[in-house]
Structure 1
Amino acid sequence: MTTVSRTFTVEAPPQTVVPYLADFGNAVQWDPGTESCTRNDSGPVQVGANWHNTSKIAGISTELTYTLEQLTDGLIVLVGRNDTATSTETIEITPSGTGSSITYTNDLEFNGAAKLAAPLAKVVFEKLGNDTEKQMTEVLNGLAR
């Protein structure tokens, strides 16, 4: 399993950050790897909601179906699955002054022959973690203005 985690602060308060990040369709704005992310169902964003995500990382395109598996005032867990991988994105949000402290963790588990890519994936995903932190910070700070 490849795990990448970042903790950072943003200007937007948790009551703004949580609903924004829980709607995974917004990933096109804050996730540098996401090319498109469309909701498969309708209604309120709640546990069970799911999205079709297309990402391109290190020149390789992949499609996953993400499901919102946990949602509280301070925790979002989204799990993306396809035949070759399972990506679990855990986002913890706590108040920090007038803004929020965010811990973003992505656990990526490869299936079958794709497991051979795990050592290389760690290097790629560390860089992506840095890029995600930067982009997510910019987008969330924009929501506070």
Structure 2
Amino acid sequence: MIKVERVMHSSRSRDAIVAYMADFAHAEQWDPGTLTCRPTDADAPLGVGTEWLNVSSFRGRRTELRYELTRMSDDRLTFVGRNKTATSTDDLHFEPHSGGTRITYRAQVEFHGIARLATPLLKREFERLGDEVSEQLPATLQQALGPSAPGPQQP
């Protein structure tokens, strides 16, 4: 299993960030590996159980995962993606910090079957992707939501 964690800061409010990030289709903007990400049912309300079909590029190969929003609260979002080769979990925790929001991003990938043998070889690539997310996500939030938080936040 591969685990990657990054901590970032945004000047935007926790509520605004959670509302934006809850729609996993926005991964197209903040996740450098995502090529497309579309809801499986565009008419369904956004909430726990909502699913997206995510097409990513990893090491020059395209891969599809079906992601589901499995946890949604004021301070946490968890998305779990699955295909026959892997289960990928993106867990995001949000907390007020210094007039904005601290974002803790945890990604976990568990490979299945023979693909498990590649786990040690792929760790560095996932670390690199984590670094790219930590640069791209705050910039995306600033562009999508504006540069500053509207007023004080409650912890």
Q: Could you state the TM-score of these two structures normalised by the residue count of structure 2?
A: 0.91
RMSD: 0.9
For structure 2, the residue ranges without an aligned partner over 5 or more in a row are 148-155
Post-superposition offset of 1:61 = 1.2
Could you tell me whether the CA contact under 8 Å between 1:13 and 1:144 is conserved in 2? no
Moved more, 74-83 or 94-103: 94-103
3-state SS in 1 of match to 2:29: helix
Q: C-alpha distance in 2, partners of 1:62/1:43?
A: 25
For structure 1, the residue ranges without an aligned partner over 5 or more in a row are: none
Q: Does 1:18 align with 2:57?
A: no
Q: Deviations over 1:47-98 (max 9, x none)?
A: 0000000000221211000000000000000000000000010000011132
Work out whether residues 76 and 92 of structure 1, in 8 Å CA contact, stay in contact via their aligned partners in 2. Answer: yes
Mapped to 2, the partners of 1:99 and 1:54 lie a distance apart of 31
Alignment of 1:46-57 (within 5 A): 46-57=47-58
Q: How far, CA to CA, are the matches of 1:49 and 1:35 in structure 2?
A: 19
Tell me the equivalent position of 2:6.
6
Q: Of 140, 143, 146, which residue of structure 2 is paired with 1:144?
A: 146
SS in 1 for 2:35: strand
> What is the DSSP-based 3-state SS (H/G/I as helix, E as strand, rest coil) of the residue aligned with 1:54?
strand
Segments ≥4 residues shifted beyond 2 Å: none
Quick one: distance in 2 between partners of 1:28 and 1:101?
Answer: 21
Deviation of the 1:45 alpha carbon: 1.1
Question: What is the CA–CA distance in structure 2 between the aligned matches of 1:51 and 1:121, rounded to whole Å?
Answer: 25
Larger radius of gyration: 2
Aligned length: 145
More displaced 10-residue stretch of structure 1: 8-17 or 77-86: 8-17
Distance in structure 1 (CA, Å) of the matches to 2:45 and 2:19: 10
Task: Tell me the secondary structure at the aligned position of residue 90 of structure 2.
Answer: strand
- Counterparts of 1:65 and 1:98, CA distance in 2: 35
Distance 2:133 2:10 in 1: 13
Looking at structure 1, the residues matched to 4 and 130 of structure 2 have their Cα atoms a distance apart, in angstroms, of 6
State the shift of 1:123 in Å. 0.6
Residues 19-64 of structure 1: CA deviation (Å, up to 9, x unaligned): 1111000000000000000000233210000000000022121100
Deviation digits for residues 88-123 of structure 1, max 9, x if unmatched? 100000111321100000000000011011011101
Aligned to 2:153: none
